[in-house]
């Protein structure tokens, strides 16, 4: 077992009371890098372990990564809102504070984002996107009427290359008999899942199976939409720069093993391990900005189904992740990709 995996396993075995004591000890550490490392592992792998320290994190200026504040207390949220009221804030600090608010995501945050959408604060001019768009970094979006719509499930299930007695085999990246109309190469069935699987419960799919196909080369450059029965949806504009690269390695079909037990939904969110990130449900790992495709039917952001590490498909060191999304109402799926 690799060192990273042993670290992950060690944190996952800590009970919540011990984890809270560890968090109390961690925030007094002078070594900022070590302190940050312990805190982010606790935040992602032992949900609820930071609840007694979150408001003090704001006081001592720790506002990164925002995952530290997932499901945080009212006190910490008010501290962050107060910090955003200070003058002469740098854009990076504003960006970090907005990401923290997004991860808190309670009714006050939702109302505040709606207020800022209608009437942008002065500091928003220095941001690349309007403040409410930061909701995406924590897996939700602000609806047109000012509500919260979740794009991720709080239950995450590991997809592991190693078989275990209780895990269900899931075939991924199988070749399709259809060809890509853009690059004239075989399409790939990224996922073919029974909709009765526990990780899909929250999506309330009634189609029996969810088959998500993609052009594994094209989706490295743009979102590729498909129908629920694994067909090219023909709704995307081909990027001008997309060429057919004969040397591009095709994804190899693999069998992964779906854990019957859910794990922390943030297990993969902040690259705490850089392996073991293939999963169904939970929050995605973003190597760059959070990027959810838009549904071609209803124009809302699509919900996250799961992600696959290329290392588990190609047998090489982790380079990137393939993501799968759906809109259950319009019966569109989509795939995307980000690289480390």
With b meaning 16 or more CB within 10 Å and e meaning fewer, what string describes 230-244? Answer: bebbeebeeeeeeee
Give least dist CB 292 to Zn ion, A: 12
How many CB atoms neighbour CB 309 within 10 A? 24
According to the binding rule CB under 5 A, does residue 294 interact with Zn ion? no
Q: By CB under 5 A, which span of 66-74, 86-94, 233-241, 291-299 interacts with Zn ion? A: 291-299
Degrees to nearest 5, angle at CA 111 with 108 and 115 = 135
CA distances from 4 to 41, 56, 275, 277, 289 (A): 11, 28, 8, 12, 24
Q: By CB under 5 A, which span of 39-47, 52-60, 189-197, 330-338 interacts with Zn ion? A: 330-338
The 296-325 site mask, x for binding Zn ion (CB under 5 A), equals -xx---------------------------
292 neighbors 169 (Cβ within 8 angstroms): no
Nearer to Zn ion, 196 or 298 (CB): 298
According to the binding rule CB under 5 A, does residue 121 interact with Zn ion? no
According to the binding rule CB under 5 A, does residue 328 interact with Zn ion? no
According to the binding rule CB under 5 A, does residue 330 interact with Zn ion? yes
According to the binding rule CB under 5 A, does residue 327 interact with Zn ion? yes
236 phi and psi angles, rounded to 5 deg: -95, 150
According to the binding rule CB under 5 A, does residue 295 interact with Zn ion? yes
According to the binding rule CB under 5 A, does residue 326 interact with Zn ion? no
CA dihedral 303, 308, 310, 312 (to 10 degrees): 180
How many CB atoms neighbour CB 112 within 10 A? 18
For Zn ion (CB under 5 A), the number of binding residues is 6
Nearer to Zn ion, 254 or 327 (CB): 327
Q: Which parts of this chain interact with Zn ion (CB under 5 A)? A: 295, 297-298, 327, 329-330
């Amino acid at each position: 077992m690799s060192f990273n995996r042993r670290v992950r396993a060690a944190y996952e075995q800590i009970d919540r009371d011990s984890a809270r004591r560890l968090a109390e000890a961690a925030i007094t550490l002078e070594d900022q890098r070590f302190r940050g490392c312990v805190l982010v592992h606790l935040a992602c792998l032992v949900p609820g372990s930071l609840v007694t320290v979150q408001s003090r994190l704001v006081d001592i200026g720790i506002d990164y990564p925002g995952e530290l504040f997932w499901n945080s207390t009212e006190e910490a949220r008010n501290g962050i809102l107060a910090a955003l009221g200070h003058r002469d804030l740098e854009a990076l600090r504003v960006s970090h504070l907005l990401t923290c608010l997004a991860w808190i995501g309670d009714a006050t945050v939702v109302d505040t984002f709606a207020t800022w959408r209608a009437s942008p604060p002065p500091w928003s001019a220095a941001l690349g996107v309007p403040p409410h768009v930061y909701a995406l970094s924590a897996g939700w979006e602000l609806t047109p009427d000012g509500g919260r719509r979740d794009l991720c499930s709080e239950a995450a299930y590991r997809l592991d290359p190693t078989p275990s007695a209780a895990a269900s085999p899931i075939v991924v990246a199988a070749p399709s008999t259809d060809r890509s109309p853009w690059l004239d190469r075989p399409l790939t069935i990224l996922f073919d899942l029974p909709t009765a699987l526990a990780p899909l419960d929250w999506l309330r799919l009634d189609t029996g199976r969810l088959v998500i196909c993609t052009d594994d080369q094209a989706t490295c450059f743009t979102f590729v939409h498909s129908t629920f029965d694994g067909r090219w949806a023909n709704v995307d504009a081909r990027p001008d720069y997309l060429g057919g690269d004969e040397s591009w390695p095709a994804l190899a079909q693999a069998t992964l093993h779906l854990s019957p037990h859910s794990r922390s939904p943030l297990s993969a969110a902040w690259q705490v391990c850089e392996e073991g990130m293939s999963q169904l449900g939970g929050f995605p790992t973003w190597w760059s900005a959070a990027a959810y495709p838009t549904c071609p039917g209803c124009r809302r952001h699509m919900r996250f189904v799961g992600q696959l590490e290329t290392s588990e498909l190609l047998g090489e060191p982790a380079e990137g992740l393939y993501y799968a999304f759906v809109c259950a109402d319009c019966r569109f799926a989509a795939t995307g990709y980000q690289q480390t």
